Chains A and B, each alone.
Chain A
Amino acid sequence: MNNSTRPFADIYPEIGTGPVSTAPAVDPAFFEREREKIFRKMWVNMILREEDLPNPGDYFVRDIEVLDASVIVVRGDDGKLRALHNVCTHRGNRLVRDESGSCNGFQCDFHGWVFNNQGELAFVTDEQRFHHLDKPSLGLAKVHLDTWRGFIFVNFEETPSQSLEASMADFNQDLKPFPFENMVLAGRYRYETNANWKTTMNAFQESYHAAFVHKRSVRQCLEDDGDPYLASQRIKLQPNGNQSISVHLPPHDLTPTEMIAYGMGATFTQGGDGNVNSFPGTAQAQIENWAFDLNIMFPFSRINVGAGWYYVDAFWPVAHDRTVYELAFYFPMPTSAGAMISQEYSKIVLRDLSREDLFTNEVTHNALRSGAIKSIQLSDQEIAVRHQYEKVTEFCR
């Protein structure tokens, strides 16, 4: 029988209820194991959608620092998307230095070798002076690429140990119906923080912190005496480490600006009032005062879906004590100035809230590193944090 104040421990008894060791967050040697056992094997969410590269030649470059890799995602003249190592096959120079663009091919700035937009070696300068160049085998090294509902993922394993679809697990039912294709990029943000990726991410895996961390920014949503800590009604944990957490916001008096923004479009703090099942691919129908779902793709990226908007984010590990948080916010393409003004409000709210979330990480990371405490205490509401440590530890064994 479920305990009504601590329901989730009963649903997931294998995760336990005891203190959780801080070692995985502070031990540099643990980070090295994560790199080999988790990051090198995962499907990497590139925070990029197919429609961001609509035409042949469109490309995007992303450095994945934790794997010492730089990847070009490019749509070839044959219409296919490819992921290619950004490394010239002549002597290893970085091939593309721009972040994005459109071109027929890429020319290395070291000796001028040219690769077409399908990754094939197309031209070698002063070729007759080489001895035995096997040009067909000297195309750019390939990285596995697959897409899920338009999101571009890559995988660095020689042969991926599981398909992208398999790694999405329950999201193939729970999240897949969300109308991602109706929305476009409204804003993109990148934040740097000096903390472990898990310490950083843990601040985004429960609602318990809202009453303190967001005491100013969502004050209007914290005035329900019966629900002062916005206790989550739904937390779904998957065996492969994926998680889904539903966030609700009680009805509240609107500020003058919320009123203006609501009047002209969907907004971040609005919630999903309206017809049940208005937002397929969400837990709207299961949650009272549903606002949005946080959907975590193990280990560190998310596709978070709300009432007419979504955002994709990732807590990119850089070093054991360095993380880049990247966020891309999507809304329907505004056709009127009013819709654009309304969306700007949501962008600013989410941006300011993210900065509040990121405030505790650095000091927490330093405090954990001091060794003053060897374990952290987690409530039933923080079970997703517990689950993440359990899974990371399991996969690093």
Chain B
Amino acid sequence: MNNPLPEPFAHLTPYRSWALSTEDARMRRRISASMSEITDYYQTLLPEIDPIAKHLDKWPLAELPAEQKPLLYLAMMFMETAMCVEFFFDPDVPEALGAEHIELYAGRSEQLVNS
């Protein structure tokens, strides 16, 4: 887990534990995090998403090298935190069916990247 992230994103290595490979794991991580952790993550990653996407688009998605995948996972984790910061002001969805009643299954792209 402590391997540095690829350049030019090695400075994001402290956030490596957020680089979770499934939507299910990312959602569970989000709702178990504190709002201050989420806000810190969101603010740090916000300016990095476009550069990460541009960087990863050097490879076709199906051929993304293993060492680059954590960057993709970080960007998708950012999308989880975006709803919290921009709309909910809370790690979870307020006034909503509890997450314990939900099951998530992988789509094709998640299967492709994680295969």
A residues apposed to B, CB below 8 Å:
184-193, 213, 216-217, 219, 255-257, 260-261, 263-264, 329, 333-341, 343-345, 347-349, 351-352, 354-356, 358-359, 361
Q: Which of A193, A219, A256, A329 is the one whose CB lies under 8 Å from B46?
A: A256
Task: Give A257's nearest chain B residue, CB to CB.
Answer: B82
Please name 10 pairs of A and B residues whose Cβ atoms are closer than 8 Å in the assembled complex, sorted by A.
Answer: A187-B104, A188-B104, A257-B46, A335-B60, A336-B61, A340-B109, A344-B79, A348-B27, A349-B83, A358-B101
Q: Interface segment, B4-12, B32-40, B86-94? A: B86-94
Whether a CB of chain A sits under 8 angstroms from the CB of B19 is: no
The 4 closest A-B pairs by CB, nearest first: A337-B56, A355-B96, A257-B82, A338-B53
B100: min CB distance to chain A, Å: 9
Question: Which of A186, A263, A341 gathers most chain B CB within 10 Å?
Answer: A341
Whether a CB of chain A sits under 8 angstroms from the CB of B20 is: no
Contacts of A184 in B (CB 8 A): 107-109
Interface size on B (CB < 8 Å)?
43
A347 touches B23 (CB 8 A): yes
A343 touches B109 (CB 8 A): yes
* A337 CA / B52 CA spacing, docked (Å): 9
A-B contact count (CB 8 A): 133
B107 touches A186 (CB 8 A): yes
Contacts of A356 in B (CB 8 A): 93, 95-96
A217 touches B87 (CB 8 A): yes
B49 touches A217 (CB 8 A): no
48-96 of chain B: CB within 8 A of chain A: 49-50, 52-54, 56-57, 59-62, 64, 72, 75-76, 78-80, 82-83, 86-88, 93-96
B residues apposed to A, CB below 8 Å:
23, 27, 46, 49-50, 52-54, 56-57, 59-62, 64, 72, 75-76, 78-80, 82-83, 86-88, 93-97, 99, 101-110, 113
A219: min CB distance to chain B, Å: 6
Known A-B contacts A345-B79, A348-B80; the reply to A333 vs B108 at CB < 8 A is yes
Contacts of A337 in B (CB 8 A): 52-53, 56-57, 59, 61, 64, 72, 75
* A356 CA / B98 CA spacing, docked (Å): 10
Task: Give A343's nearest chain B residue, CB to CB.
Answer: B109
Task: Give A212's nearest chain B residue, CB to CB.
Answer: B95
Known A-B contacts A186-B108, A189-B102, A219-B87; the reply to A352 vs B93 at CB < 8 A is yes
A310: min CB distance to chain B, Å: 13
A338 touches B57 (CB 8 A): yes
* A85 CA / B109 CA spacing, docked (Å): 31
Contacts of A185 in B (CB 8 A): 107-108
Contacts of B94 in A (CB 8 A): 216
A340 touches B72 (CB 8 A): yes
A358 touches B97 (CB 8 A): yes
* A191 CA / B59 CA spacing, docked (Å): 36
B14: min CB distance to chain A, Å: 21
